[in-house]
Amino acid sequence: MTDTRRSLALGLALCAALPFTAAGADAPGIDLAGIDRSVAPGDDFFAFANGAWYKATAIPEDRAAFGASAIVYDRTSQRTVELIQDAAKAEAPKGSVERKVGDYYTSFMDETGIEALGLSPVRAKLDAIAAIADVKGLSRYLGTTLRADVDALNATNFYTDNLLGLWIAQDLDQPTRYVPFLMQGGLDMPERTYYVDDSAPMAETRAKFQAHVVKILELGQIADAAAKGARVFELERKIAEVHGSREDSADVKKSNNHRTREALASAAPGLDWTEFLAAAGLGEQKEFVVWHPTAVTGIAALVASQPLETWKDYLTFHALEHHSAVMPAAFGQESFDFHATTLQGTPKRRERWKRAVDATGNALGEAVGQMYVRKYFPPADKARIEAMVRNLISAFDRRVDRLDWMAPATRAKAKAKLKTLQVHVGYPDRFRDYSALEIVKGDAYGNDERAELFEYRRNLAKLGKPIDRGEWVMTPQTVNAVNLPVMNAMNFPAAILQPPYFDPARPLAMDYGAIGAVIGHEISHSFDDQGALFDETGKLDNWWTEADFKHFQEAADRLVKQYDAYEPLPGVKVKGKQTLSENVADVAGLSAAYDGYRMSLGGKPAPSAQGLTGDQQFFVSFAQSWRQKMREALLRQVIVGDSHAPDEFRADIVRNLDPWYAAFDVKPGQKLYLAPADRIRVW
Ligand SMILES: [Zn+2]
């Protein structure tokens, strides 16, 4: 994957990432100067809490969005690069993780060396593509491109530029074993909408995309690039036409399609599955889960029906772009120009060292993470967060007890799930073993390729082994948090557990409003419409009754309507259904965080601070944690494809909590006012 798309993942996949100001990062507490007191909280709570900051802030040239997550991200990058550079200088013993980290980074930074190598690192791959003589050979080559680069339920990454993607995870029917999930892929642009939507901006984007393909082919010194570019575009459009939608991808019940090897091949003729699977190292695998059955069938058919030469041009284009971050500068620049500037509106590329830190963190995530937590995550922080998590869990447990709409048997199930829930804080108990990954100083391209392959083989090796519920899907230095629904576990990496998300130096109300709401958000995912699909062992077995589901659906439908009404751009509305699960988690998470905060007071009155009551601190801290300014192109991309609503509207979820009305004297007639009966209470 290119570095530009990596930074996109950081900006967008945030299950619940949060933001503060530069000022807020320096002085603990609420950023009072960022508040816009000319806005009534009841009219626009995001603008009230953030308006002055918003007006005073410009998005840096090298970003598509800016907010506190970016500030914390930058601080973490700075710390991480120092660790990495120290490792590079230290000349640690060969084979040690410090040495691998140092060598990976040094090689990535060696622009002169990379330039001098020219196209030679990618030559073997281009030759292999040129040598493809038939569908059998094509299938074999495609099999070698399969990587563990998608994730349907944890990191929820449905994108791969390879024709198919693989995710190895707990079998949803037999949770004691791992199974390989096959997912759709093969598009260079982020999502099928970009290829099939006939609006004018999308048509314009497609014209620019075709020019991008031509440019990459030209940089690869491929003859007749213009004609080939047109055919590659046409092939991608055909692939997009058979792709499932973003909503299909998120529908677990539609996607849990177990297929024997024979059934897979007979349902999806065209691709030579024997060759493909053997080349992918899955020659012995008997059973698969086909996440996107229609797409897999459609793609397999295209393998046979489209001209072999077009496929070879398509693969040449993808081979040239896939590792563009570690190719001569013109490749990376072109990839950035299209993927970041055209698609997201980012004018300027981030400095190389920042990209090198990301790339190193991607390749050797837990090696870097090990170094990071040793220096920046003291045991006292871990203990403090763990205490907060216990409070949140017990807040949730009490909310479950109080639910009158849920059948007693369902409540018992929910409580069982709370008991087996594993909340991992900071870093994994056991770090990954990188001894099988060879890092060669001076071979940035090879290192990138071997790191992907290492990750793929590490995943393949899980097949046949017992489930490791302690495995992390995020690195400790990631500014984010995640719920792993099938493992009934959560990761709160060390990097998100720092000021201003969490700060021992400020009143607890502010911590509960910020990181507490994130923890509550993640816990609630275990019990929402998606969480209800998995029982306490991770089995896909809906533990809600019909009546429970009906009540939830009623509340959910109202929340869909609440979000459908938001209009971030003229004529462009938030998609209430696409963002429903995250919006439910936001309202539930904030509610549980509020309870946890009240519990933490132990019956005493809340201390006021900075001229704000305890409840005001809680809600303003929450809304400031969603502080974010976004370029229009990225905003469009978020609305089209992200499962989260734009941050501004996530802040406005406060309108569903009764205490918010009292804290800010919100009255009927104000824009965010909801009559008590219209406020959504799922939990
Ligand atoms: Zn979430």
pLDDT digits (tens, 9 = 90+) for 98-127: 999 999 999 999 999 999 999 999 999 999
Distance 149 CA to ligand 1 centre (A): 20
490 beta partners: 423, 483
The predicted-structure confidence for 455-499, as pLDDT tens digits, reads as follows 999 999 999 999 998 999 999 999 988 888 888 999 999 999 987
On the question of pLDDT at 188 being above 50, the answer is yes
Distance 13 CA to ligand 1 centre (A): 9
Q: What is the mean pLDDT of residues 363-380?
A: 94
Q: If 0-12 CB within 10 Å is exposed, 13-18 middle and 19+ buried, where does residue 415 land?
A: middle
On the question of pLDDT at 437 being above 70, the answer is yes
Specify the pLDDT at position 550: 87
Contact partners, residue 302, CB within 8 Å, separation at least 6: 235, 238, 239, 242, 270
Distance 474 CA to ligand 1 centre (A): 14
For residues 122 and 319, the answer to whether their CB atoms sit within 8 Å is: yes
Q: If 0-12 CB within 10 Å is exposed, 13-18 middle and 19+ buried, where does residue 466 land?
A: exposed
Better-scored residue on pLDDT, 42 or 408: 42
Distance 582 CA to ligand 1 centre (A): 5
Q: What is the mean pLDDT of residues 566-581?
A: 93
For residues 457 and 444, the answer to whether their CB atoms sit within 8 Å is: no
The model's pTM:
0.80
Contact partners, residue 618, CB within 8 Å, separation at least 6: 509, 510, 512, 513, 593, 594, 597, 663
The predicted-structure confidence for 514-545, as pLDDT tens digits, reads as follows 999 999 998 988 887 778 889 888 899 888 88
Contact partners, residue 195, CB within 8 Å, separation at least 6: 187, 189, 206, 236, 237, 240, 241
Distance 581 CA to ligand 1 centre (A): 7
On the question of pLDDT at 3 being above 80, the answer is no
Q: How far does CA 662 lie from the centroid of its chain?
A: 35
Q: 537, 490, 432, 467: which is closest to 178 by C-alpha?
A: 467
Distance 284 CA to ligand 1 centre (A): 36
CA distances from 554 to 404, 527, 550 (A): 15, 16, 6
Specify the pLDDT at position 156: 83
For β-strands 287-290 and 178-184, DSSP reports them as: parallel
For residues 287 and 331, the answer to whether their CB atoms sit within 8 Å is: no
Specify the pLDDT at position 347: 87
Q: What are phi and psi of 423, to 5 degrees?
A: -105, 110
The predicted-structure confidence for 19-37, as pLDDT tens digits, reads as follows 333 333 456 899 999 999 9
Distance 200 CA to ligand 1 centre (A): 32
Q: Percent of the chain, pLDDT > 90?
A: 76
The CA distance from 194 to 209, in Å, is 10
On the question of pLDDT at 303 being above 70, the answer is yes
Specify the pLDDT at position 13: 32
Specify the pLDDT at position 560: 94
For residues 447 and 363, the answer to whether their CB atoms sit within 8 Å is: yes
Q: 192, 136, 193, 184: which is closest to 296 by C-alpha?
A: 184
Specify the pLDDT at position 28: 82
91-100 contacts, C-beta under 8 A, 24 or more apart? 95/435, 97/364, 97/367, 97/370, 97/371, 97/434, 98/367, 98/371, 99/439, 100/364, 100/367, 100/434, 100/437, 100/439
Q: What are phi and psi of 595, to 5 degrees?
A: -60, -45
Q: Mapped to the 3 state alphabet, what secondary structure does 406-424 carry?
A: CCHHHHHHHHHHHHHCEEE
Distance 320 CA to ligand 1 centre (A): 35
CA dihedral 672, 35, 9, 586 (to 10 degrees): -40
Specify the pLDDT at position 99: 96
Distance 519 CA to ligand 1 centre (A): 10
Tokens representing 29 are: 């507490």
Distance 466 CA to ligand 1 centre (A): 27
On the question of pLDDT at 62 being above 90, the answer is no
Q: 519, 486, 499: which is closest to 591 by C-alpha?
A: 519
For residues 475 and 363, the answer to whether their CB atoms sit within 8 Å is: no
Distance 588 CA to ligand 1 centre (A): 11
Q: At what angle do helices 135-144 and 308-322 cross, to 10 degrees?
A: 20
Q: Which helix (H) or strand (E) holds 580?
A: helix 580-600
Distance 51 CA to ligand 1 centre (A): 25
The CA distance from 321 to 653, in Å, is 40
Q: Percent of the chain, pLDDT > 70?
A: 96
CA distances from 416 to 177, 250, 397, 546 (A): 21, 25, 10, 20
Specify the pLDDT at position 368: 97
Assign 4 a pLDDT band (cuts: 50, 70, 90): very low
Assign 657 a pLDDT band (cuts: 50, 70, 90): very high
Specify the pLDDT at position 1: 26
Distance 663 CA to ligand 1 centre (A): 26
Specify the pLDDT at position 26: 52
The predicted-structure confidence for 201-217, as pLDDT tens digits, reads as follows 999 999 999 999 999 99
The CA distance from 15 to 10, in Å, is 10
On the question of pLDDT at 130 being above 90, the answer is yes
Q: How many CB atoms lie within 10 A of CB 115?
A: 12
For residues 149 and 161, the answer to whether their CB atoms sit within 8 Å is: no
Distance 236 CA to ligand 1 centre (A): 31
Specify the pLDDT at position 150: 96
Specify the pLDDT at position 405: 78
For residues 414 and 524, the answer to whether their CB atoms sit within 8 Å is: no
Specify the pLDDT at position 58: 95
On the question of pLDDT at 616 being above 90, the answer is yes
Q: If 0-12 CB within 10 Å is exposed, 13-18 middle and 19+ buried, where does residue 131 land?
A: exposed
Distance 113 CA to ligand 1 centre (A): 42
The predicted-structure confidence for 627-642, as pLDDT tens digits, reads as follows 999 999 999 988 988 8
Distance 525 CA to ligand 1 centre (A): 7
Distance 227 CA to ligand 1 centre (A): 44
Specify the pLDDT at position 486: 86
Tokens representing 105 are: 């980074």
Distance 53 CA to ligand 1 centre (A): 26
Segment among 7-16, 108-117, 226-235 with least mean pLDDT: 7-16
Distance 456 CA to ligand 1 centre (A): 26
The CA distance from 635 to 345, in Å, is 10
Specify the pLDDT at position 402: 87
Ion ligand 1 neighbours (CB, 5 A) are 15, 582, 585
Distance 634 CA to ligand 1 centre (A): 19
Cis-peptide, bond into residue 500, ω within 30° of zero: yes
Distance 483 CA to ligand 1 centre (A): 7
For residues 154 and 473, the answer to whether their CB atoms sit within 8 Å is: yes
The DSSP code for 129 is H
Distance 151 CA to ligand 1 centre (A): 15
Average model confidence (pLDDT) across the chain: 92
Distance 644 CA to ligand 1 centre (A): 8
The CA distance from 407 to 404, in Å, is 8
On the question of pLDDT at 551 being above 50, the answer is yes
Distance 415 CA to ligand 1 centre (A): 20
For β-strands 164-170 and 178-184, DSSP reports them as: antiparallel
